[in-house]
Structure 1
């Protein structure tokens, strides 16, 4: 049976921490395409308090989430259990982008695990609605392990490649909304966790 929660309680904390991945959904204000992205690396998601969460945003082939957040701030995070205990949890809220050169970034950076190469930003979400669903039709999957490919790829990329991404496919959404600004910091300038 679906339930709406007033906050992220201990039970929800445990459920979120047990998931190997999560999904991020955003959409532009006017027309355009809905974006849905799977996110891996368990150490890239953090619960700040009972109504605020954040995740490390890594460079990718586009910057739809950032463009949509700049446009309207709307975001939904979904966790889905693939184990014997079926459950779907959605966090609906308003997100914002914290760039590596923002003063808040250093404090947020301590919430996450490894120093992933290719960090683009931290996305912070103020949660407005927390709801779960049964997930009865979600299939069972066994986790083999985290896929190291993205980190390995980013570790080999020179600053020039990231600079081209910032002004290229990360500069605008596929619908033409502005995403990363030309002065966005390169991963080599991202402060590391201590």
Structure 2
């Protein structure tokens, strides 16, 4: 049975910190809903109603485009081990790019990553847990090194050129606001 909370309590925060991946959901006013898996060392809980996560370069940039229209975001974690549990945080998010006020402060919470494209700052207005009884057991082996290898083979200019080519529009053709 689902339970709702006004903020992340200590047990919620512990659960989130134990997970190796999370999912982000966003949608614009019209068009496709996006759900994207995220990993690496890219998420920080800054308080019971605040989460920030660093978005690294990828093949798409849906969340950024959606947040230009509607600032709602959902983050979700699933337990693939031990007790079955799904935890979701709902709220309003804002996007920060390198050079924006607040970027340096928030980026300081993460390892330096040359392909950091945005930081999303989520203000949580609802936390929900549910059973997760149908989520399979899976074993974590390791983080992938594919992203780091890709970045290591690129100059900063190459990464920006990739943003121009692949990250300027959502799949629905809407702007993402990524600076180049």
How high is the TM-score relative to the length of structure 1? 0.88
Q: 1:102 to 1:117 in 2, by over 3 A?
A: same
> How many Å apart are 1:111 and its aligned residue?
1.8
**Using the alignment, how far apart are the partners of 2:144 and 2:163 within structure 1?**
24
Deviations, residues 21-61 of structure 1 (Å, cap 9, x unaligned): 0000111102x1111110011x2100111111010110101
Partner of 1:129: 126
**8 Å Cα contact 1:165-1:171 kept in structure 2:** no
Partner of 2:28: 28
Partner of 1:117: 114
Partner of 1:87: 85
**8 Å Cα contact 1:4-1:130 kept in structure 2:** yes
Partner of 2:162: 165
**8 Å Cα contact 1:118-1:155 kept in structure 2:** no
2:152 matched to 1:152? no
**Using the alignment, how far apart are the partners of 2:149 and 2:112 within structure 1?**
12
**Using the alignment, how far apart are the partners of 2:148 and 2:113 within structure 1?**
6
Partner of 1:180: 177
1:168 aligned counterpart, secondary structure: helix
Partner of 2:39: 40
2:108 matched to 1:97? no
**8 Å Cα contact 2:114-2:156 kept in structure 1:** no
Query: How many residues matched?
Result: 180
**Using the alignment, how far apart are the partners of 1:162 and 1:153 within structure 2?**
10
How high is the TM-score relative to the length of structure 2? 0.95
**Using the alignment, how far apart are the partners of 1:119 and 1:48 within structure 2?**
19
Partner of 1:143: 140
> How many Å apart are 1:10 and its aligned residue?
0.7
**Using the alignment, how far apart are the partners of 1:33 and 1:164 within structure 2?**
26
* Residue segments in structure 2 that go unaligned for 5+ positions in a row: none
> How many Å apart are 1:164 and its aligned residue?
2.3
2:66 matched to 1:59? no
Q: Name the Cα RMSD after superposition.
A: 1.2
**8 Å Cα contact 1:63-1:180 kept in structure 2:** no
